[in-house]
Amino acid sequence: MRRQLALAEQEREHATEVRVKDTLQTNEVVAQRLRIRTSYQTALNAYQARKGLARISWATWFITGGTILLWCITATVMAQMVGAHDIRSILMNIASNAIDVHDNDALTTTLIAYGAKDNSLMLQGQYWRFITPIFLHANALHIGLNMFNLVVLGIFLERLYGHLRFLLIYLLTGIISIIASFYFAPQEISVGASGAIFGLVGAYSIFVLVHRRAFPYGGVPALLWLLIIVALNLSIGFFVSNVDNYAHIGGLISGCLLGWGFTPLYRLSSHNVLVDKHALRRRWPLALLTVSGTLVLAIIALYVMQP
């Protein structure tokens, strides 16, 4: 009888231990899911905690404004090269070339003068052309589409990533897109922000993937939407001349890599305070590594492409 009572007591203790263990595991799962949801919501709404001018997506608007200003200058110079000197004739020339996707001598000469990607000049030491093409555009349609995408996506992502991380991703993916074009499309004169914008798409794709449990249906609809956007834009390159798909692919891949390293990742600290584990002040060694890696890529491309 005593033995049976002892066995029954052991079974009750074991059952209690199992229930406690299951409860702890359940609580941990709930806490993990809460952290994931909180991470997304905190990143999405972090800008609301800022006040006044600090809430503005400065990097996005600065890049957009500077790019539009530079296009106005190059469009005016190109119009003057073909004989348009008063405001009306300049505007007429810009309008007539608004959707022209074909090269012309005045356009090519102007873009090269202002910093377009030209392999022959880059191999002669004009290394700034790894950066300047990001801010140059061929015509009104080109800049209109790119700046629309930049504003729509950029404002949102800058709120998620913060000013400096957003700027780092935009510039580095833009430069890497030019490096890809430099290596894989050496004969092309290339300009445009689309490589950097593809980089932003790549970074956001990784954000959705990392925080998929915070999105409806595990983030699958959001990822499919991004995939459709990428597929449509890349397919245009196969049917429309003068579209640099190598730059687009280079920007997309580098955006995914940088997004993986810098996507906001909030976790509860020991003091129950949400801390972004991927904040730039915590990830500055990785930031230096990515900048150095981009520089090394450019040097390798220059070395390999030497005649």
- Residue whose structure tokens are 């001349």: 241
Which residue among 163, 248, 254, 278 is the active-site one? Answer: 248
How buried is 231 (Cβ within 10 angstroms: 0-12 exposed, 13-18 middle, 19+ buried)? exposed
- Residue whose structure tokens are 């030209």: 118
- The contacts of residue 233 (CB under 8 Å, 6+ apart) are 194, 198, 248
- Give the three-state DSSP class for 223: helix
H helical segments located in the chain: 2-45, 58-81, 87-96, 105-114, 119-122, 140-161, 163-184, 194-210, 220-239, 245-262, 284-304
Which residue among 177, 181, 190, 194 is the active-site one? Answer: 194
Clarify whether 85 is annotated catalytic: no
Clarify whether 248 is annotated catalytic: yes
- Residue whose structure tokens are 């059952």: 15
DSSP code for 219: G
- Residue whose structure tokens are 């609580």: 27
Within a 10 A sphere around the Cβ of 7, how many other Cβ atoms?
A: 10
- Residue whose structure tokens are 């954000």: 207
Contact 255, 226 (CB under 8 A): no
Contact 152, 61 (CB under 8 A): no
Per DSSP, the residues of 129-187 read GGTGGGG--SSHHHHHHHHHHHHHHHHHHHHHH-HHHHHHHHHHHHHHHHHHHHHH-TT
Give catalytic residue positions.
194, 248
